[in-house]
Amino acid sequence: MNAKKLISAVLSAFVIAVSSLSYTLPNTNADYSRVSVHDPSVVKLEEGGYFIIGSHLGAARSDDMMNWRSAANSNLGSTRTTFFRNIYSDLAVPEKWSNTTNGYNLAGNMWAPDIIYNKEMGKYCMYLSVNGQVWNSSIVLCTADKIEGPYSYQGTIVYSGFTNNAVNNVKDTDVPKVLGNSPDISRYLSNGSWNASYGTNAIDPAVFYDENGNLWMVYGSWFGGIYMLELDEKTGLRDYNVKYETIPNVSDAYMGKKAAGGNYVSGEGPYIEYMKAPNSDKGYYYLFVSYGFFNSNGGYNMRIFRSEKPDGPFVDQNGNRAIYPRGGDNIRGNIGERLMSNYQWSCNPKPFKAQGHNSALMDDDGKLYVVYHTKFDDNWGAHEVRVHQLIMNEDGWITAAPYEYSGETLSDDGHAMSAVIGDYDFIFHSLDQKFENEKSADVEKPHTITLNEDGTVTGHVTGTWLIKDGTPNMTISFGGVTYKGAFLVQSDESATQTKRMTFTATGNNTCVWGSKRSAYNAADDIVKPVEIPDGKYTLKNVNSGLYIADNNGNIVQSARQSWSIKSAGDGEYIITDSSEMALTVDNSSAIDGANVLLADFTGDKSQRFRLRDNHDGSYSFLTLASGGLRCLDVYEISTEDGANICQWEFWNGSGQQFILEEVKDVAGDINADGELSVADLVMMQSFLLGGTHLTDWKAGDLCKDDRIDTFDLCLLRQILIS
């Protein structure tokens, strides 16, 4: 691809300048810390948290997939990062192969690395592209004990650009080891130079373990296509015992098995991740490939294929193979599920453009993510890392959530009809979105549709829709295509991060998004009212382990205290203390931060709550004062004793989740509820008068010997008089 050669120097200069900077970008929300890492590849760390590495050794860490901070000193540039002690000496072998053109600098040609932890080796393995200007590239393995380095060169996996000439001679590669001495390399050559219409460029590696523990590498860019090689799990290098036949558009004895592309069509940044839906035994290997030119007006976009086997064949929703049997322009084509187009929600000050060169992750909790870089409408301008949750539909096809990830989770029991019907902003991610490279590119903007209660869709498109009972799964049909996906409550990307009902769905290789125009109201989204028996309970916060408690009339989190919870009808509850003072939102306020206190019982909306079952053993208490939009909240998710309880917008964070512990007075079990009761006093009296031998009562170190003695009596007396 001539364009790629011409702009590689420009890309190097640009990306190296902003490869891992932390700074304010056009779409920054106050609650997010952002970085710029081009071609981000994600790693779930053994010790917890997430790590991304990208071109020119940009890198960042995150604990939550939302807030990123620069890592490995990558903000200081590729020559000062901790990944290597000295890139020029540590990577002298691959640099020699690629440094054959005037003005070449290794610092600007370390492209799209991928890191994986090899348990058998006990090492972090970095697979790094060392780019050359005339396809004389290589992918090398470097290892380290720590993910941030320092890394040491271990060997080269694969070469491209080899010839029979004095420069980049095939004898300086491992080709003879694979093909034999004096190998026939005529198929890789055209007029004595590298035949780019057949051979790929040895860059953009992505390494993964399959479900049987075998190690694979997918790699390549444009030209001859995307290939796969099996690696040796013990060394992390190429497994030379695995042989490949040379069959056109199937495999090549040196480059490996063909996975995608070829015949000079676009396609780069391959990434393969095994993913499956939660609670499902059926998974697939998903191949992501970026089509187009990577500048903001180059039509760059992510495509998805899948296979039941790690090495393919990979197909799209319509059964099209990822391998191209002939040339052509595939950037706006209909092969491959297009994850998203250039787009702009009304809350985004600038369009998101040229999203691509992504990685993906199936996390330990089953959540799926896509991690990519996006650019804006300022050609060759800034870029930033974005993360969206991926949703797998009932057919096993994945589609991205409409807004970036903000901690949201799919509902376990679906959604109420009242929560999903209404007017939506609707984005259709066109397969053939128009662009003129380096000059202009179309942007999809939202239109209005309405999901009606009778199952019809009206507005910009007309058709039908439905939600499957007891699940978030939904379909929307129009124009002869049925799109399958799910509803998901998300925060939008406005400064206020308003919670909205959204949907994402895919069909015919096309994805569609919807975002409800009115704010999400959790009180409207109770599929089945939570019913608990009237009685005494303690309310323990999931995050702090402390309890909702009274502090001179103000409600805080502190020591264990019991409350009476009683039904007020219609799924609403009143919470009172032993003196029948009621938990109350001050002044019936509907705003964030409104204080919660004890007040005389009136039974009005300031004292009424609806319980939301979080399906993890915890509940959230939605306040009727806010119309159910807000709930009881530990201020700033504090773990401190005495932290204030207030009302805050419901987002299902741990500071809003409480475990209900039922309190019962059990005869003989003194102080079981944290309070001294009449039953406790009666039992103590019987023990004191009767000199009873105790076999079960061990609380407070009393009666360790199963007998009441003088020491025990003194302790009991202290309890009684206190």
Residues that are catalytic: 39, 268
Calpha distance 605→409 (Å, rounded): 29
The tokens of 625 are what?
């004062």
Calpha distance 618→634 (Å, rounded): 15
Query: Which 3-state string (H, E, C) describes 637-655?
Result: HCCCCCCEEEEEECCCCHH
Helix 710-721 to helix 678-690 angle (10° resolution) is 150
Q: H or E segment at 711?
A: helix 710-721
Phi first, then psi, for residue 88 (nearest 5°) are -75, -35
List CB contacts of 509: < 8 A, sequence separation 6 or more. 316, 317, 318, 334, 335, 336, 337, 338, 431
Beta-carbon count within 10 A of 216 CB: 21
Of 572, 344, 582, the residue nearest 443 (C-alpha)? 344
Calpha distance 117→597 (Å, rounded): 51
Contact 357, 373 (CB under 8 A): yes
Contact 264, 222 (CB under 8 A): yes
CA-based R_g, the chain, Å: 31
Contact 451, 563 (CB under 8 A): no
Calpha distance 466→414 (Å, rounded): 12
Query: Which 3-state string (H, E, C) describes 342-354?
Result: CECCCCCCCCEEE
The tokens of 232 are what?
């040796």
Calpha distance 212→4 (Å, rounded): 37
3-state secondary structure of 668: coil
Q: What is the DSSP letter of 9?
A: H
The tokens of 705 are what?
């010997």
Calpha distance 315→319 (Å, rounded): 5
List CB contacts of 294: < 8 A, sequence separation 6 or more. 11, 300, 354, 356, 357
Q: Are strands 473-478 and 481-491 parallel, antiparallel or unpaired?
A: antiparallel
3-state secondary structure of 378: coil
Q: Sheet holding 301-307: strands in order across? A: 268-276, 283-291, 301-307, 337-338
The tokens of 62 are what?
């995150």
Q: H or E segment at 358?
A: strand 353-362
Contact 159, 134 (CB under 8 A): no
Q: What is the DSSP letter of 505?
A: E
Handedness of CA 189, 191, 196, 201 (dihedral sign): positive
Conformation bin of residue 291: beta by default, left when phi > 0, alpha when psi is -120 to 50? beta
Please provide the DSSP assignment of 549-589 as one string. Answer: EEETTEEEEES---EEEEEEETTEEEEE-TT-EEEEEGGG-
3-state secondary structure of 636: helix
Calpha distance 422→457 (Å, rounded): 10
Q: Sheet holding 50-53: strands in order across? A: 41-44, 50-53, 59-62, 68-70
Handedness of CA 96, 100, 105, 106 (dihedral sign): negative
Q: At CB < 8 A and 24+ separation, what contacts does 71-75 make?
A: 71/20, 71/148, 72/148, 72/149, 74/19, 74/20, 74/37, 75/20, 75/21, 75/22
